[in-house]
Amino acid sequence: MTRVLILFGPPGAGKGTQASRLSAALALPHVSTGDLFRENRAKGTPLGKKAQTFMDAGQLVPDDVVLDMLFDRTSKSDCREGYLLDGFPRTIPQAEALSKRLAATDRVSVLNLIVPDDVLLERITGRRSCKACSNVHHVRTAPPKAPGRCDKCGGELVQRTDDTTEVFGKRLSVYRQQTQPLEGWYGRAGNLVNVDGNRAPDVVFEELRQKAFPEQRGGRV
Ligand SMILES: [Zn+2]
């Protein structure tokens, strides 16, 4: 049995950080489709080249190509016991395609981080990043000692374009339209666990860790 842990949640929910911590705590390799994509392209693998032809033509890389990359990675021995999927699936057709390619014995568990839009917007649009060292402050929750200056190196703090209300708001609305319907899809399949992501990161992590594979709490069944 391979344990497949899927973590999803809106941009700004802290998914990346939680995925890295969970991967370490549960000893599951962190398989990020974004990273796989970059690796395959950098190494010039047949799949990387295939993906590139679609991108050169200004087209989206088909889900099948992404899935080929994914299963190429998860066929490696370190994923035999399980892995944590990050960045995939993002749409219902992707979830359907993934489900078809998983083995019947694979145990899928989906963790859904719930954070309201206004909290996400406040978190992200308040971010100020240091131009020199990339250290991140927040105007309300982690303000710098000197206005506009990084605490670590004194560099200039700026708002990244990705962190503006306009750009971030767009990403959030794409998420709500395309990815959030997965809640219903996985919910009906009976393997979705909702976790309140609007709390301190350590508290959220502890709950994610405990709920990752609920049937394994208190020993193996
Ligand atoms: Zn700095």
Q: Mean pLDDT over residues 97-123, rounded?
A: 94
- For 132, the domain range is 3-28+81-216
Closest CA to 87 of 7, 161, 185, 204: 7
Query: What pLDDT is stored for residue 20 in this prediction?
Result: 93
Contact by Cβ (8 Å): 213, 5: yes
Give the CATH number, domain containing residue 209. Answer: 3.40.50.300
- Active-site residue, 127 included: yes
The Å distance, Cα 200 to ligand 1 centre, comes to 24
User: Is 70 exceeded by the pLDDT of residue 217?
Assistant: no
pLDDT tier at 215, thresholds 50, 70, 90: low
Spacing, Cα 140 to ligand 1 middle (Å) = 18
What's the gap in Å between 149 CA and the centre of ligand 1? 8
**Average pLDDT for 126-131:** 96
Q: 81 - beta bridge partners?
A: none
Please report whether residue 146 resides in a domain.
yes
- pLDDT of residue 221 exceeding 80, the answer is no
Residue 185 has pLDDT above 90, yes or no: yes
Is 123 annotated in the active site? no
Residues bordering ligand 1, an ion, CB closer than 5 Å = 130, 132-133, 135, 150, 152-153, 155
The answer to whether residue 61 is domain-embedded is no
- Identify the active-site residue in 3, 21, 123, 127: 127
Q: Is residue 58 part of a domain?
A: no
pLDDT beyond 90 at 208: yes
Degrees to nearest 5, angle at CA 51 with 46 and 55: 145
Assess if residue 53 is contained within a domain.
Answer: no
Look up residue 150 and give its DSSP letter. -
Residue 75 located in a structural domain: no
Q: What is the DSSP letter of 152?
A: T
* Ligand 1 geometric centre to CA of 144 (Å): 10
CA distances from 19 to 8, 25, 107 (A): 10, 10, 18
Q: pLDDT tens, 40-70? A: 999 999 999 999 999 899 988 899 999 999 9
Q: What is the mean pLDDT of residues 63-89?
A: 94
- N-to-C CA span, the chain: 13
Strand runs labelled E in 27-176? 30-32, 82-86, 107-114, 127-130, 136-138, 157-158
In a domain, 90, yes or no: yes
Q: Contact at 8 Å (CB) between 84 and 7?
A: yes
Q: State what percent of residues in the chain have pLDDT above 70.
A: 97
Question: What whole-number distance in Å separates Cα of residue 74 and Cα of residue 103?
Answer: 12
Residue 176: active-site member = no
Average pLDDT over residues 136-141: 95
Residue 88 lies in a domain: yes
Q: Collapsing DSSP states into helix, strand and coil, what is residue 92?
A: helix
The C-alpha atoms of residue 70 and residue 76 are separated, in whole angstroms, by: 11
Take residue 162 and report the two structure tokens written for it: 């990705």
Average model confidence (pLDDT) across the chain: 92
In this prediction, residue 216 has a pLDDT band, given cuts at 50, 70 and 90, of: low
104 Cβ contact partners less than 8 Å away, ≥ 6 residues apart: none
218, pLDDT greater than 50:
no
Total domains present in the chain: 1
Within a domain: residue 69?
no
Between the CA of 198 and the centroid of ligand 1 the distance, in Å, is 27
How much is the pTM?
Answer: 0.86
How sure is the predictor about 98, in pLDDT bands with cuts at 50, 70 and 90? Answer: very high
